[in-house]
Chains A and B, each alone.
Chain A
Amino acid sequence: MQPEKFYYDNKIVRNFGIATVIWGIIGMLVGLIVAIQLYKPEMNMHNQYTTFGRVRPLHTNAVIFAFVGNAIFMGIYYSLQRLMKARMFSDVLSKLHFWGWQLIIVSAVITLPLGLTTSHEYAELEWPIDILITLVWVVFGINMFGTIIKRRERHIYVAVWFYIATFVTIAVLHIVNSIELPVGFFKSYMVYAGVQDALVQWWYGHNAVAFFLTTPYLGMMYYFLPKMANRPIYSYKLSILHFWALIFIYIWAGPHHLLYTTLPGWAQSLGVAFSVMLIAPSWGGMINGLLTLRGAWDKVRDDVTLKFMVVGLTAYGMATFEGPMLSLKQVNAIGHFTDWIIAHVHVGALGWNGFLTFAILYWLVPRIYKTELYSKKMASFHFWIGTLGILFYAIPMYWAGFTQGLMLKEFTPEGILKYPSFLETTMRILPMHVMRSVGGAMYLTGVIVMAYNLYKTAIQGKLVANEAAEAMPLPKLNPEASTERWHRRLERKPIMFLVASLIVILIGTFVELMPTLTISSNIPTIASVKPYSPLELQGRDLYIREGCSNCHSQTIRPFRSETERYGEYSKAGEFVYDHPFLWGSKRTGPDLQREGGKYSNSWHYNHLMDPRLMSPGSIMPNYDWLITQKLDTTTTAVKIRAMQKLGVPYPAGYDKVANQDLDKQAKGIADNLAKDHIKVKSNKEIVAIIAYLQRLGTDIKAGKTANN
């Protein structure tokens, strides 16, 4: 048999590489801006499009899907071709994939600042973009499996196992979490409400971390690390064990994001138990990586790419140990909703995803350009400033998290909250927030230096767009093959492998989602909880548009420190008309679930216009545009009809008269404001959002008065 000649497509790798660097800088810059807004609200540049609530999702989407996403595709397109000994299946699909993905990102950059959002964290993009994501993902899948099928290598290497699991799980997660009912071209309502919606979202959110930020990177680590160190992988057995254990257990752990909420207790406990079991499988990847470097540690001292790898793997190990610890209820009670979580995710994102990406870029760019890295000194500078940046970021955030978490729980001996004003705890941690932005700026500086270094490298070399390679075609399966161990056999059946991974991840999915979504006893109803009035519904959509839930939670946990501070703890039945749920995941400001009736309408008006009028020192931005902008009531009817379709019991034909009720309620609020010398027309947005805020959490109080 003659070896076959073929060419690796390096151009697509280069393109994804460029996109990685550019989007990385943009995403991190946006991150820096929102970080500064947390102590200097004026950094929103006095307009709605760059205000924290709208731009924070832009930061998360840009770094996760644009920076990390492009890096994943760069790594996969480079390694998959070489591991399969074949060019990518189709150049057309590769290009479609590349430009499709960039189109998704650009549409995110446009829509998120406009306030077009589903409010589901890390899945904020509206339904037309969701469809586009699905299509591009299918293109990626066909291209990947096409390549695998026409491979010249019998068995598929562990890196590709992780790529397969990534592909199939992200597809399932994205589709289930995007089941929404469109109400116009850029607005939709989640099909599930309240507790159910929360569970679906955090099943998604947690596993986006697992299958977008973890598994593809483990796969890339398995290819690039042994290449860089020129060492064999430490243990094949460990690869098998930790791969299957990881993907099986990870999918169960989502509910640990909802501890002490109204999620049924059994689901919470499953989340905790499986999170703890995740320690070993996660560490399996780190151990296999670090022990692969055995006998190559002297190289680590000189080789900057290996330095990035080692710190990246260590950060991964720390984050995956901390995660399970944070899942323990007692720890979660303090850490949840605080900066501790921000520190935790950034150790993972900056350390693991960032550093691995940099290592791969430094290794790969000189190779596809057939040259040496332009400056090793600059790369070394990048490594040190990046590492220091992570420390300067993480340590203050941990400090802030502990400080605020503990302050919020402190009582005086008289049985009164020691810090009854939430703002007092916020002011205390502002210096830590300043320090964090310094750390972030250092990290970003490193990335910019890298971009320059890589650019110089590229122009001093020449891109080998099509790299020649040769390999023997696959021979017929020899009879010995039937004596292979079961896993070895599975390794030469990629479709079986895909199906097996799918089954493994669906087990946890079904056990956790199905009972909550179908058994009604999991969500006890409350008779006094009524659907939102049309004005409140519109106000709620403004609350979603402004991204209020990025800073304010709407779920009161059953703790003395929370019921004393905010009011009665949340009940599952209160959220049954909440499409989508708005519990939030971070309390930069106080919880708002029982906000209704706490303050007067005029307090809210003044507070939204300039929060510092009512709460001196507040870091909430001004929402003065709500006063000038007119509420769009043309959408009321279609929104009411959509809600009816989702099972919200508005009377039949209510959509036609809803705007009359809306006007009446708005006029009432405007009149009430007028009494306090505030002149505002009843058709302004601020009236709707006040109506919504005043409704929050009041339904169960109404029930009480009726009963008494």
Chain B
Amino acid sequence: MKPIRIIFLSLFVLAITPAFAENGSLLSGETMNYIGFGAIVLALITLCVAMYIVLKAFRVVAKILLGPEELEEKKVDKVALKAQKKAARSERINKIFSLKPMSEEQSILIPHEYDGIQELNNPTPAWFMYLFYVTIVFAVGYLLIYHVFGVGQLQYDEYRTEMAVAAKEKAAFLAKSADNVDETTVKLSADATVLAAGKATFDGKCAACHGNNGQGVVGPNLTDDYWLHGNKISDIFKTIKYGVQSKGMPTWESQLTPKQISDVANYVKSLHGTNPANPKEPQGTKMADDENSAKDAKPKTAMVVK
């Protein structure tokens, strides 16, 4: 029982470690993981040791309380009980495996030995044969279903079905959702929550190539007046969504939700003119920031239009 308990405990602990790790505030998640982990291993070892000590202690206590004679009696009782249980168990096993009682074993001993090893002439257990037959029927059935009757879908049909179902579910979900934006409906926004969400995504996905402040590293500078693929909010949305394969900009359509793409696009717009340190040299053509300036110049009209 004890080992089983230990296993369950360790499984439980393993299951909850990641949950703890995610809330790490000061330390990084990884360090938290390791600390939590060390603690668990330590706790497990302590538990093993503690159980061992308790077991020893019980024995000593039993010896003192019962006195030597009584202890002997108890032992004898225990042995008798054990023998009884064992007999009952072996009978059950004999039934399951259709075994001959040990006393009749001589009758099925094959009269031959190999370096002292003998063999019994037991039949193959019935349940074993059934297991074999069932797996054979399964195998034949499997081949028939997939390759003769064509009932089962092979992998490419299975894939088409999976994609069709997924597309339907996605459409149904997005129809109900307010976040269903695309490059034609995306709107410029200076809302603080939008920009904060955009910054979070930017830091996680974009900063590696465009720099923490959009100054450009491998990818182009996003803060200057020069643009490769347009500087309108709809252009930026499109660039992020579909990527630019030839220049190494990945497609984000399958990794970010439409709302996230829109947030990042707005965040990128907000970076314009921030003049970060170590800017990358300009790439593309110089473009005026029509949208932002338009907004600044005629905020009232913009509001009205909206």
> Provided the pairs A153-B114, A235-B120, A287-B125 are in contact, do residues A395 and B146 lie with their beta carbons within 8 angstroms?
no
Chain A residue at minimum C-beta to C-beta distance from B17: A431
Please determine whether B155 and A414 come into contact, CB atoms closer than 8 angstroms.
no
* B residues 129-150 in Cβ contact with A at 8 Å: 129, 131-132, 135-136, 138-140, 142-143, 146-147
Chain A residue at minimum C-beta to C-beta distance from B180: A414
Residues in B neighbouring A430, C-beta threshold 8 A: 30, 33
Please determine whether B10 and A157 come into contact, CB atoms closer than 8 angstroms.
no
Q: Report the 9 A-B pairs with minimum CB-CB distance, sorted nearest first.
A: A600-B248, A415-B170, A420-B255, A280-B132, A273-B139, A558-B159, A232-B118, A235-B122, A157-B114
Please determine whether B7 and A391 come into contact, CB atoms closer than 8 angstroms.
yes
Instruction: Give Cα distance in the complex from A569 to B162, angstroms.
Output: 14
Residues in A neighbouring B147, C-beta threshold 8 A: 265-266, 269
Given contacts A236-B119, A565-B254, 4 further A-B contacts (CB under 8 A): A82-B115, A279-B131, A597-B245, A598-B248
Instruction: Give Cα distance in the complex from A563 to B114, angstroms.
Output: 59
Instruction: Give Cα distance in the complex from A638 to B177, angstroms.
Output: 61
The reply on B208 being an interface residue by CB < 8 A is: yes
The reply on A606 being an interface residue by CB < 8 A is: yes
Please determine whether B155 and A395 come into contact, CB atoms closer than 8 angstroms.
no
* Shortest beta-carbon distance from A307 to chain B in Å: 14
* B residues 159-206 in Cβ contact with A at 8 Å: 159, 162-163, 166-167, 169-170, 173-174, 177, 179
Instruction: Give Cα distance in the complex from A517 to B246, angstroms.
Output: 37
Could you name 6 residue pairs across A and B whose Cβ atoms are closer than 8 Å?
A227-B115, A265-B155, A399-B14, A431-B21, A563-B163, A603-B209
The reply on A134 being an interface residue by CB < 8 A is: no
Chain A residue at minimum C-beta to C-beta distance from B159: A558
The reply on A532 being an interface residue by CB < 8 A is: no
Residues in B neighbouring A268, C-beta threshold 8 A: 155
The reply on A155 being an interface residue by CB < 8 A is: yes
The reply on A100 being an interface residue by CB < 8 A is: no
Number of A-B contacts (CB under 8 A): 201
Please determine whether B218 and A676 come into contact, CB atoms closer than 8 angstroms.
yes
Residue from B10, B115, B116, B247 within 8 A of A600 (CB atoms): B247
The reply on A241 being an interface residue by CB < 8 A is: yes
* Shortest beta-carbon distance from B258 to chain A in Å: 7
Instruction: Give Cα distance in the complex from A585 to B137, angstroms.
Output: 30
Which stretch of A48-56, A360-368, A432-440, A472-480 is in the interface? A432-440
Chain A residue at minimum C-beta to C-beta distance from B141: A273
Residue from B37, B122, B250 within 8 A of A599 (CB atoms): B250
Please determine whether A414 and B258 come into contact, CB atoms closer than 8 angstroms.
yes
Chain B residue at minimum C-beta to C-beta distance from A424: B204
- SS class, residues of chain B in contact with chain A: helix
Please determine whether A235 and B121 come into contact, CB atoms closer than 8 angstroms.
yes
The reply on B26 being an interface residue by CB < 8 A is: no
Number of chain A residues whose Cβ lies closer than 8 Å to a Cβ of chain B? 84
> Provided the pairs A277-B139, A294-B99, A430-B30 are in contact, do residues A560 and B163 lie with their beta carbons within 8 angstroms?
yes
Instruction: Give Cα distance in the complex from A435 to B169, angstroms.
Output: 39
Residues in A neighbouring B36, C-beta threshold 8 A: 431
Please determine whether B119 and A233 come into contact, CB atoms closer than 8 angstroms.
yes
The reply on B154 being an interface residue by CB < 8 A is: yes
Instruction: Give Cα distance in the complex from A265 to B155, angstroms.
Output: 8
The reply on B11 being an interface residue by CB < 8 A is: yes
The reply on A176 being an interface residue by CB < 8 A is: no
A binding-site residues for B, Cβ under 8 Å: 79, 82-83, 85, 153, 155, 157, 223, 226-227, 232-239, 241, 245, 260, 265-266, 268-270, 272-274, 276-281, 283-284, 287, 291, 294-295, 324, 391, 395-396, 399, 411-417, 420-421, 427-428, 430-432, 434-435, 438, 557-560, 563-565, 569, 597-603, 606, 613-615, 617, 676
The reply on B156 being an interface residue by CB < 8 A is: yes
> Provided the pairs A266-B147, A598-B250 are in contact, do residues A236 and B162 lie with their beta carbons within 8 angstroms?
no
Please determine whether A416 and B255 come into contact, CB atoms closer than 8 angstroms.
yes
* Shortest beta-carbon distance from A22 to chain B in Å: 28
* Shortest beta-carbon distance from B153 to chain A in Å: 10
The reply on B271 being an interface residue by CB < 8 A is: no
The reply on B298 being an interface residue by CB < 8 A is: no
Residues in A neighbouring B135, C-beta threshold 8 A: 276-280, 324
The reply on B18 being an interface residue by CB < 8 A is: yes
Chain A residue at minimum C-beta to C-beta distance from B38: A434
The reply on B58 being an interface residue by CB < 8 A is: no
Residues in B neighbouring A603, C-beta threshold 8 A: 209, 218, 248
Please determine whether B142 and A273 come into contact, CB atoms closer than 8 angstroms.
yes
* B residues 14-55 in Cβ contact with A at 8 Å: 14-15, 17-18, 21, 29-30, 33-34, 36-37, 41
Residue from B11, B125, B162 within 8 A of A399 (CB atoms): B11
Please determine whether A395 and B117 come into contact, CB atoms closer than 8 angstroms.
no
Residues in B neighbouring A265, C-beta threshold 8 A: 146-147, 154-155
Please determine whether B120 and A236 come into contact, CB atoms closer than 8 angstroms.
yes
> Provided the pairs A391-B7, A431-B18, A560-B163 are in contact, do residues A602 and B173 lie with their beta carbons within 8 angstroms?
no
* Shortest beta-carbon distance from A384 to chain B in Å: 10
> Provided the pairs A232-B119, A599-B250, A600-B247 are in contact, do residues A414 and B131 lie with their beta carbons within 8 angstroms?
no
Instruction: Give Cα distance in the complex from A83 to B114, angstroms.
Output: 6
Chain B residue at minimum C-beta to C-beta distance from A260: B155
Residue from B14, B146, B162 within 8 A of A431 (CB atoms): B14
The reply on B87 being an interface residue by CB < 8 A is: no
* Shortest beta-carbon distance from B5 to chain A in Å: 13
Instruction: Give Cα distance in the complex from A197 to B243, angstroms.
Output: 35
Chain B residue at minimum C-beta to C-beta distance from A429: B18
Residues in A neighbouring B166, C-beta threshold 8 A: 411, 415, 560
Instruction: Give Cα distance in the complex from A395 to B219, angstroms.
Output: 43
Residues in B neighbouring A421, C-beta threshold 8 A: 255
The reply on B124 being an interface residue by CB < 8 A is: yes
The reply on B76 being an interface residue by CB < 8 A is: no
Please determine whether B245 and A235 come into contact, CB atoms closer than 8 angstroms.
no
Residue from A235, A560, A597 within 8 A of B123 (CB atoms): A235
Chain B residue at minimum C-beta to C-beta distance from A415: B170
Instruction: Give Cα distance in the complex from A295 to B37, angstroms.
Output: 45
Residues in A neighbouring B179, C-beta threshold 8 A: 414
Instruction: Give Cα distance in the complex from A21 to B155, angstroms.
Output: 46
> Provided the pairs A265-B146, A269-B146, A414-B173 are in contact, do residues A427 and B29 lie with their beta carbons within 8 angstroms?
yes
Residues in B neighbouring A417, C-beta threshold 8 A: 254-255
Please determine whether B120 and A432 come into contact, CB atoms closer than 8 angstroms.
no
Please determine whether B120 and A234 come into contact, CB atoms closer than 8 angstroms.
yes
Chain A residue at minimum C-beta to C-beta distance from B109: A232
Please determine whether A434 and B250 come into contact, CB atoms closer than 8 angstroms.
no
Residue from A85, A280, A412, A565 within 8 A of B128 (CB atoms): A280
Residues in A neighbouring B109, C-beta threshold 8 A: 232
Residue from B105, B121, B128, B158 within 8 A of A236 (CB atoms): B121
Residue from B128, B146, B154, B209 within 8 A of A287 (CB atoms): B128
Please determine whether B117 and A559 come into contact, CB atoms closer than 8 angstroms.
no
Most buried by A among B119, B146, B163: B119
The reply on B242 being an interface residue by CB < 8 A is: no
Instruction: Give Cα distance in the complex from A226 to B119, angstroms.
Output: 9
Instruction: Give Cα distance in the complex from A420 to B114, angstroms.
Output: 62
The reply on B112 being an interface residue by CB < 8 A is: yes
Instruction: Give Cα distance in the complex from A502 to B15, angstroms.
Output: 49
Residue from B117, B158, B254 within 8 A of A226 (CB atoms): B117
Please determine whether B110 and A236 come into contact, CB atoms closer than 8 angstroms.
yes
Chain B residue at minimum C-beta to C-beta distance from A235: B122
Instruction: Give Cα distance in the complex from A236 to B129, angstroms.
Output: 15
Residues in A neighbouring B154, C-beta threshold 8 A: 265
Please determine whether B110 and A274 come into contact, CB atoms closer than 8 angstroms.
no
Most buried by B among A236, A239, A617: A236
Residues in B neighbouring A411, C-beta threshold 8 A: 166
Please determine whether B208 and A615 come into contact, CB atoms closer than 8 angstroms.
yes
Please determine whether A415 and B169 come into contact, CB atoms closer than 8 angstroms.
yes
* Shortest beta-carbon distance from B68 to chain A in Å: 25
Chain B residue at minimum C-beta to C-beta distance from A272: B142
Chain B residue at minimum C-beta to C-beta distance from A597: B245
Please determine whether A223 and B117 come into contact, CB atoms closer than 8 angstroms.
yes
Instruction: Give Cα distance in the complex from A241 to B132, angstroms.
Output: 11
Instruction: Give Cα distance in the complex from A427 to B34, angstroms.
Output: 12
* Shortest beta-carbon distance from B98 to chain A in Å: 11
